Structure 1
Amino acid sequence: MEPRRYSGNSHWYHETQASARAEQTPPLYPEAADIEDRFLLGLQQHASILTPLFHTFRPVLQAGQALSHLLFPDDITPTLTHTLTLYDRLAIALTAAQVTGIQRLCNHYAARLNPLPGPDSSRESNNRLTQLTQYARQLASQPAVIDTAALQRLDEVGLSTPDIISLSQTVGFVSYQARVVAGLQALLGMPVCWLPGLNECVDAAWHDFSSPKEYRLRLPPLERRYASEQQLAAIEAALALPELTHVVWLAAHDAGTLHAWSSLQSTLPSATQEEALAQAVAARINGSALCFERYQGRFLSELQCGVDDALTASRREPLPHAVIQLAAQLTRAPDRLSAAHLQPLLAQGITHQQLFCLVQRVALANWNNRLLQALGEY
């Protein structure tokens, strides 16, 4: 017999992820929905001491803000090939934000999601939302566990290839945003708001990095003969960045996000030796062999075995040791990053600008790792 359903209890995972109720319960922080800066979520208003830093990184921050408006506009009209609604996107974002544990993000996405009408309470809609949030949770927490079967489950509930691209980009963006916000909160010396019960992500197994293999896409890429002018322009811009080469034609199914994603990465200068090391640490933790194999710097063999091995090998060299520690903490548990994690780097003469650039590199690596893990395999 079909189980009886009550209004407002159609789904689980979060109290805002439910069908519309007769009396809508307001979110805990309703004002978080109306904040003007949807990327840093009000941090600039409380950060006068970092004004020079914000001025230096204005192009990067503006690109992040543009992405937040692109991925989460005030309204979305689904089409036959792009079926994700605004409710879907915000539910995905809230799920990814909850994984990171950054309360500022959770408040914002919960407040925006709360007043929206949810899907109907049919079994099909319920299963679809379950698969969306389950995929988002896995990709946000342990990208190495995403496999072809995970994408197949999304296909079975009616998601198109462009939908899966947009879904993966959304999780990647929130993972990036969370780590930028965490880094700024640490720079400002804000107290850590740790949510009990959330565990650090588990590092990928060492055998994923033991031998080079050929990277293969899990979904069909866009064919040139069907590409629009907007898609071709986004592809041309993205091909200039080596980090994106393998997935450009597949990511072009969501041309707007691809263009904004590549524009964001092109605003940063070439990575320094320390930034490249930090990116490799993130790739090692997340299981992204494709991103990891680009690194040919110091402590490479130790990193292949594990981050703890690299920490042991670098313990007599304060700067790379501190870089590895910061990148590991920001990747594994951004909600627990505090000013104390930054002190070893500041003690080595690293400036606030260099430190924020390092945070940006780790945050972007976490986005790139997740997208490459989701869309392809070795």
Structure 2
Amino acid sequence: MEHRRSPGHDHWFYESQTRPHTSATAPLVPEAAHIDDRFLLGLQQEASALQPLLQHFQPVLQAARDLSHTLLPDAVSTSLTHTLTLYDRLSTALTVAQVAGVQRLCNHYSARLNPLPGPDSSRESNNRLTQITQYARQLAMQPELITASSISALDAVGLTEPDIVTLNQLVGYVSYQARVVAALQAMMGLPVRWIPGVTPPTDADAVLFSQAAAWQHALKPVELRYASADQLAAVTFCQGMAGLDDAVWLLVHDAQALYGWATLRQRLEAYGGEEEQLAQAVSARVLGCRRQFAQLANGWRTRLLHDVDQASDDSLTQQVIALSAQLTRLPERFSAAHLQPLLNAGWGSERLFTLMQAVAFASWQDRLLMALGEAR
């Protein structure tokens, strides 16, 4: 498969996030808003050669579709404790899609956002949306830079604890979606879009991993005595999941998102193995998730900390690491060329897609745990 790329600037749709709703202009691809599968966004219909693969992973893909309707539904009812509007959610999704640089996502979220009325023109509303957007962009681009002050800034503009948990789940979900879509587009041999002058963020500083990986709540967790029936059900469902004991009572501020996220994780784990564990360790190293890196790196810790791009002397293992690092760092530039070494080594499509889904999910999980449990 040849590595094709084309220059372009049409990833960036700032107008639909900043314009007053009274002067709305049509999105570039308005039909992108009307699509049945809001996770793969039409790829399933285009990828005729991949139908057996997609059918094999149908339980995972269905869980991902369900999460789209949970986090980005057609309508949202707000309350005193849940203030994120549909505009807030879609604007955040578009911001993350822009950071990932995956055009298919930008088209979809821009088209859905465009007809919605924006927030009022008060200073408070402007500050609120600006803070949400800045936080989402930072978490999507360089999660290691999220601090306790970043969380406090969201609180200062009126976001509640459930809002902040939902916002982090939303950023994680679109980060995951972007990488699954990028992976499938690479498997289809579609050309990548090259943005001139875009410099990818650097990997997390190795010094970061010398600090303890102990969980520290960024927000006040839900207390058992105040938990709703839905929250108790979500917590019960998560029992026994590795690494969630400390996090679950904080994540359950959004019980539906937690239940959906845990369902997706459970279904993905049915396909995983040692290669997927290494891939997720690479993601944690690149992004700076101390907790996941400590749990997953094992004998790879020293080598991955020294140089991800030359961590293994075994060429096949290094190709697994290289693919994982590329998909974590730059989904917009992920292409068929990155799959070719493993295809040449005899990997089939199911094995490849399993690996790439593990990387994509790690991009969500790492961001979620870093923001809500490692921010200092």
Q: Which amino acid aligns with 1:53?
A: L
* 1:174-323 equivalences in 2 (<5 Å): 174-268=174-268, 269=270, 271-310=272-311, 314=312, 316-323=313-320
List structure 1 runs of 4+ shifted beyond 6 angstroms. Answer: none
How many residue pairs match? The answer is 363
Is the 1:180–1:360 Cα contact (8 Å) retained in structure 2? yes
* Counterpart for residue 357 of structure 1: 354
Q: Matched residue of 2:18: which SS? A: coil
Q: Matched residue of 1:70: which SS? A: helix
Give, in whole Å, the separation in 2 of the partners of 1:214 and 1:167.
23
Deviation by residue 1:193-216 (Cα, 9 ceiling, x = unmatched)? 223343323211101112534221
Give, in whole Å, the separation in 1 of the partners of 2:244 and 2:96.
22
Q: Matched residue of 1:376: which SS? A: helix
Q: Which amino acid aligns with 1:195?
A: I
Is the 1:318–1:348 Cα contact (8 Å) retained in structure 2? no
1:259: Cα distance to partner? 0.1
Is the 1:19–1:117 Cα contact (8 Å) retained in structure 2? no
1:31: Cα distance to partner? 0.3
1:244: Cα distance to partner? 2.9
The 3 A distance-change label for structure 1 pair 111 and 13 is closer
* Counterpart for residue 128 of structure 1: 128
* 1:315-354 equivalences in 2 (<5 Å): 316-354=313-351
The 3 A distance-change label for structure 1 pair 360 and 213 is closer
Q: Matched residue of 1:193: which SS? A: strand
Deviation by residue 1:317-374 (Cα, 9 ceiling, x = unmatched)? 1221111100110000001000000011111221100100101100010100000111
Is the 2:21–2:118 Cα contact (8 Å) retained in structure 1? no
Is the 1:284–1:306 Cα contact (8 Å) retained in structure 2? no
TM-score in terms of structure 2 length: 0.93
Give, in whole Å, the separation in 1 of the partners of 2:66 and 2:98.
22
Give, in whole Å, the separation in 1 of the partners of 2:73 and 2:371.
24
* 1:25-44 equivalences in 2 (<5 Å): 25-44=25-44
Give, in whole Å, the separation in 2 of the partners of 1:73 and 1:329.
31
The 3 A distance-change label for structure 1 pair 371 and 62 is same
Q: Which amino acid aligns with 2:34?
A: D
1:305: Cα distance to partner? 2.5
Structure with greater contact order relative to length (CA < 8 Å, sep ≥ 6): 2
Q: Which moved more, 1:177-186 or 1:236-245?
A: 236-245
Q: Which moved more, 1:136-145 or 1:200-209?
A: 200-209
Q: Which amino acid aligns with 1:355?
A: L
Give, in whole Å, the separation in 2 of the partners of 1:178 and 1:168.
16
* Counterpart for residue 165 of structure 1: 165
The 3 A distance-change label for structure 1 pair 24 and 230 is same
TM-score in terms of structure 1 length: 0.93
Give, in whole Å, the separation in 1 of the partners of 2:114 and 2:231.
33
Is the 1:210–1:304 Cα contact (8 Å) retained in structure 2? no
* Counterpart for residue 4 of structure 1: none
Deviation by residue 1:110-150 (Cα, 9 ceiling, x = unmatched)? 00000000001111110000000000000000000000000
Is the 1:92–1:136 Cα contact (8 Å) retained in structure 2? yes
Q: Matched residue of 1:217: which SS? A: coil
1:271: Cα distance to partner? 2.7
Work out whether 1:373 is the aligned partner of 2:370: yes
* Counterpart for residue 8 of structure 1: none
* Counterpart for residue 9 of structure 2: none
Q: Which amino acid aligns with 2:97?
A: A
Q: Matched residue of 2:37: which SS? A: coil
Q: Which runs of 5+ in 2 are unaligned?
A: 1-11
**RMSD (CA atoms):** 1.5
Give, in whole Å, the separation in 1 of the partners of 2:188 and 2:113.
28
Give, in whole Å, the separation in 2 of the partners of 1:333 and 1:163.
28
Work out whether 1:85 is the aligned partner of 2:88: no
Q: Matched residue of 1:45: which SS? A: helix
1:236: Cα distance to partner? 1.2
1:241: Cα distance to partner? 1.6
Give, in whole Å, the separation in 2 of the partners of 1:84 and 1:213.
31
Is the 2:182–2:334 Cα contact (8 Å) retained in structure 1? yes
Is the 2:206–2:306 Cα contact (8 Å) retained in structure 1? yes
Is the 2:272–2:354 Cα contact (8 Å) retained in structure 1? no
1:299: Cα distance to partner? 2.7
* Counterpart for residue 3 of structure 2: none
Give, in whole Å, the separation in 2 of the partners of 1:291 and 1:298.
14
1:20: Cα distance to partner? 4.0
Q: Which amino acid aligns with 2:307?
A: G
The 3 A distance-change label for structure 1 pair 128 and 183 is same
Deviation by residue 1:65-109 (Cα, 9 ceiling, x = unmatched)? 101111111111101100000000000000000000000000000
Give, in whole Å, the separation in 1 of the partners of 2:121 and 2:305.
47
Deviation by residue 1:163-199 (Cα, 9 ceiling, x = unmatched)? 0000000000000000000000000000002233433
